[in-house]
Structure formats: structure tokens, C-alpha cells
Amino acid sequence: MPSYASGVSDVPLLGDTIGDNFDRTVAAVPDRDALVEVPTGRRWTYAQLRSDVDALALGLLDTGVAKGDRVGIWAPNMAEWTLLQYASAKLGAILVNINPSYRTHELEFVLNQAGVSVLVSAREFKTSNYEQMIADVRGKCPDLRSVVLIGSDEWNGLLDAGRAGDPAVLAERQASLTTDDPINIQYTSGTTGFPKGATLSHHNILNNGYFLGRILGYTSDDRVCIPVPFYHCFGMVMGNLGCTSNGSTMVIPAQGFDPEATLRAVAQERCTSLYGVPTMFIAELNAPTFADHDVSSLRTGIMAGSPCPVEVMKQVVDRMGMAEVTIAYGMTETSPVSTQTRRDDSLELRVSTVGRVLPHLEVKIVDPETGLTVPRGEPGELCTRGYSVMLGYWNEPDKTAEAIDPARWMHTGDLGVMDDDGYVNITGRIKDMVIRGGENVYPREIEEFLHTHPDILDAQVVGVPDVKYGEELCAWVIQREGSTPLDADAVREFATGKLAHYKIPRYVMVVDEFPMTVTGKVRKVEMRATSVDRLGLGDASSAGKAQETST
């Protein structure tokens, strides 16, 4: 049987724009909580949220924001982010998500590449002075005609003007939009060069949020804690749109990820669902005050962004009570989710696979060299097709053509295997695969094994150059607090007899943390570079002299 599966469903795709779908939910559950911002205590019912969304939309309309204009948002997780997400959707303006960790060079690039005309921004976040950085680049961004700082007189003026505006004007604009209009640009965190702007439509992201929420069983009784960033699909699609398309409540625990704040928000708001990448769940489970928070309201949630270690999943189910937690897999270019485990799947399926294809989508595993679909059980590149595939990279047709083939299959660059039941196991990135002495080694397998070591809290494995074997394995490990110090010899001894000799890491580096993106993904490119530098492997000829170290 070929490694191909399609998502059959008797529930049709939504044909709405985001604004129309939001209004439909408001009409159905006007008095239900729509949005709760825990740090400030602010909360909105669906009716109140629509009032503020429409006011902001009319205010922006009054300043001349046209359909297709790019409106940038540069802010951490806060209620105003959500207001702008839905206001821009009602206007048909294209929301450009700007990574909160960007500095001036990256900010200037995104503003110019997308042609942002209006930028809505927080004044600051953590150590970043956004107001100053905007001032530094504004003269280099000819398309940027307006900057509105959240909480400023200009921001309040937009809302005031909108409240005094004519709702019929907004209704007319909203009625002129189509589901296939571009509505969002999200910049992928490229490992080399500048990021690319994945351009997404109403149809792309609304349906992805809706069906993901249906798989989680969302209703108007669900309250979803969203500690993942809004600027990424995990927050604004799986979180916000997953909620509003199903009438559920969005809960913001903090502006940035904080394990204690997340646990407090779950307990205070009686959240039924919690999102995060594995490192977030690890931090929550190991928070000193974990036992002080009543998280018994949790039943489900999503773990995504990187592979979930078996031990972490067991603790999420046992200690957090998330018996229906699911694993989701996807990428920004696919809105984002392509496959997901189901709530009633076994624990084994939830830790060994990323689930099966979502409704109305297709996935296949192909030979990266020939493009032919491989038989089930054989590895290859995962490709996906359907409503979720992006319109393309903004103003980059050549790069779009590299990612999406003429039949509209999105090539993910991920290696996967599909079993007889259609469940997919991601074994790594094509570029992450380590070839040691002719043997293909998939880092995830080694990482899963290292998680069974009683003293290891988290582990990541990368390949480093070696003069004899071409590549060798280097494991980065974070130890449990108070555990016996580890070194390469101790790790090798633990692995001997349990892993094939060529899968045992030659190098081990004990660290306090991994280099991460804002969305919680481990930056393996940076880890490789650091490993090469610390181990003295810059010149492959020196590989044999490198010492087996821990730092």
C-alpha cells in the first residue's frame, strides 16, 4: 500500500471569511467569555469583543487602510494583538506578524519586504525598546506611513473614532471580501539568510483552526490557555481561531512564556485545554510550585513544535490530568497543522507518531530523489496538499516554486514514515539526518532514548564533522537538578548494549539551556556551530584530536 492518506469528513469546509465566521459565533454565544487577559484582569464577552474589534476596524478604515494593505503587528501576547487580528480580517488588510525578538535589522527587512504601511506596536517588551527601534529604522522604510503604539493617544483615538463611526461602512467592506483573499503574512524563521513571508488566506487559517478545535472537542464550555506566541500560527490560528470558530474562550496567561503564570492562569480560569511545545510542558511540570496549582480542570490540549519525549507525555497525562492531550504536526506554510493524533488514541500512538491527516487534507511520503510515493513503512519526505497550503511566499515566486510543486504538494523537508493505519512518524529533517560511516542516524531516536536516563531532563542530538566517519553524534543534555554530574563516558556506558554502537554519541555537552526560537523550537543549526567551535572541529582534519568533553 502506498504512503498516501486523505482526510475524509462529513463536516464541510467553512466558506466564511474570518470576520463573518467571528460574527456568527458572536450571534450564537454573545454572553460567553471570549477573551481573558490574566495579568491585567481584563475580560471580554463575545459581544464586548466584537464591539472593540469593530471599533478598531472602523478607526483603521477612517485612516485610509484599504483592502490588501499590509498592517504590521509587533507585540507580545496581549489583548490588543487579538483585537487587531480580527479587525484587520474584517477590513481585508493583510496582518504582518513580526517576531517579538527581532532587532532593527530584521524589523527593517520585514517592513520593507512586506511593504507595511501601518505598524501597530507595543512600546517595549522585556529588554526590547520597540519605540526606539522603530524610530531607528523608520526613515529607511518608505512604505511605512503610520506607527501606532498600543496604549498611546493615537491608539485610543482609533478606538474612539471607530466607536463614533458608521457600522454600515464596515459591513460594506466586510461584504466585499472573499475567502481566498490573502489575510496574513508570517515570516518563517529561516536558518540561513532572511526569512520568507508565508502568505495565508482566510480559507487557509480559519479552516485549520476550526477543524483542529473540532478534533479537540471544543465547545463554548472550553477555556483554552494560550502561552504560545500569537505572532506564530500556534497562537493565532490553533489558539485564537481554534477558539472563536468553535465558541471557546481564549485565555492569555502572560505576555511571554512563564511556567508559573501559565499554571496560575489554568487554575484561576479553570482552563480545559493547554497548549505548548515540549520544553514548555517540561518547565511547567518542574516548576517548584507545581503542586500548589489546581489544574484538575484540564482535559485536553496540544503539544507541538518538536517531538514529544515519551516520559514528558506520560507526566502530562498523569500529573496534569490531560488525558485527551494531542500531538499536532505542521508548518507555517500549511496554516499550520497537517496531522494530529486524536483524543482517544493510545499513549503509544501519541508519543510514537504525529497522528493522521486532518479532514479535507492529503499527505504522502515520497522518495526525496525520485519524487515517487514510497510503500507504507518506508521513510521519505512528507508532503501535504489541500486547503491549508499557503498562497505562496510574499513576492518570492521562485522560492514558492521550490516549496510547492506544480500539483500543489507542499514539500515539508521533514523525513517521515506512514504506518498501515495512516499514522505518521516524523524521524527528523532531511538536513538533520546524520550519516555516520554510511549509516543513516536519526537524532530523534537517540533523543528519545536519552530521555530514559534518570538524570537527564532534556536532550538534543546533532551531527558534527569527523575525519574518519564523516559525521559523529554530539548530544546536548540538560540535567535534572541535584542529579549526579554526567559526562560522555557516563552517557556512553548507559547506552552500551541498548543502542547500536554507531548511534551512541561520541560527544556530550551538559548545558543549562538549548538555543531556542521564540516559538520554542530548538535551533539545531546554532547547536551544530557551537559544538564545532567548542570541540575544535572547525577543520575536519582536527576531528580526531577533539576531546570528549562536557561543559
- Is the distance from CB of 71 to CB of 60 less than 8 angstroms? yes
525 vs 550 pLDDT, higher one:
525
Residue 40 lies in a domain: no
Residue 292 lies in a domain: no
* d(C-alpha 307, C-alpha 182), whole Å: 31
Q: What's the whole-model pTM score?
A: 0.84
How high is the pLDDT of residue 519?
65
- Structural domain count, the chain: 2
Residue 307 lies in a domain: no
Residue 142 lies in a domain: yes
Question: Does the pLDDT at position 48 exceed 70?
Answer: yes
Residue 200 lies in a domain: no
Segment among 177-191, 285-299, 406-420, 470-484 with least mean pLDDT: 177-191
Q: What is the mean pLDDT of residues 377-385?
A: 97
Cα→Cα distances 11→8, 211, 355, Å: 9, 9, 19
Task: Give the three-class secondary structure for 417.
Answer: strand
Question: Does the pLDDT at position 84 exceed 90?
Answer: yes
DSSP 165: S
Segment among 29-43, 257-271, 415-429 with least mean pLDDT: 415-429
What residue spans of 458-550 are helical by DSSP H?
A: 488-495, 524-535
Question: Does the pLDDT at position 391 exceed 80?
Answer: yes
Residue 541 lies in a domain: yes
Percent of the chain with pLDDT over 90: 81
Residue with cell 507525555: 313
How high is the pLDDT of residue 193?
56
How high is the pLDDT of residue 543?
31
Tens of pLDDT along 431-455? 777 878 777 787 888 898 899 999 9
Residue 447 lies in a domain: yes
- Is the distance from CB of 63 to CB of 152 less than 8 angstroms? no
Task: Give the three-class secondary structure for 64.
Answer: coil
Question: Does the pLDDT at position 292 exceed 70?
Answer: yes
Kindly report the CATH number assigned to the domain that includes residue 507.
Answer: 3.30.300.30
Tens of pLDDT along 258-282? 999 999 999 999 999 999 988 899 9
From 157, 178, 199, the end of a domain falls on 178
Residue with cell 529533517: 429
Kindly report the CATH number assigned to the domain that includes residue 120.
Answer: 3.40.50.980
> Which pairs with CB-CB distance under 8 Å and at least 24 residues apart come from 339-348?
339/363, 339/424, 340/212, 340/215, 340/302, 341/423, 342/215, 343/215, 343/216, 343/217, 343/300, 347/313, 347/314, 347/317
- The rounded mean pLDDT for the chain is 93
How high is the pLDDT of residue 545?
28
Q: Show Cβ contacts of residue 236 under 8 Å, excluding neighbours closer than 6 positions.
A: 81, 85, 97, 184, 205, 230
How high is the pLDDT of residue 279?
86
From 178, 196, 231, the end of a domain falls on 178
* Helices 310-320 and 278-285, packing angle to 10 deg: 50
Percent of the chain with pLDDT over 70: 96
How high is the pLDDT of residue 443?
86
Question: Does the pLDDT at position 352 exceed 80?
Answer: yes
Domain containing 487 equals 434-545
Q: What is the mean pLDDT of residues 501-525?
A: 87
Residue 511 lies in a domain: yes
Tens of pLDDT along 156-201? 999 999 999 999 999 999 999 999 999 999 998 644 457 899 999 9
Closest CA to 72 of 185, 236, 155: 185
From 178, 212, 246, the end of a domain falls on 178
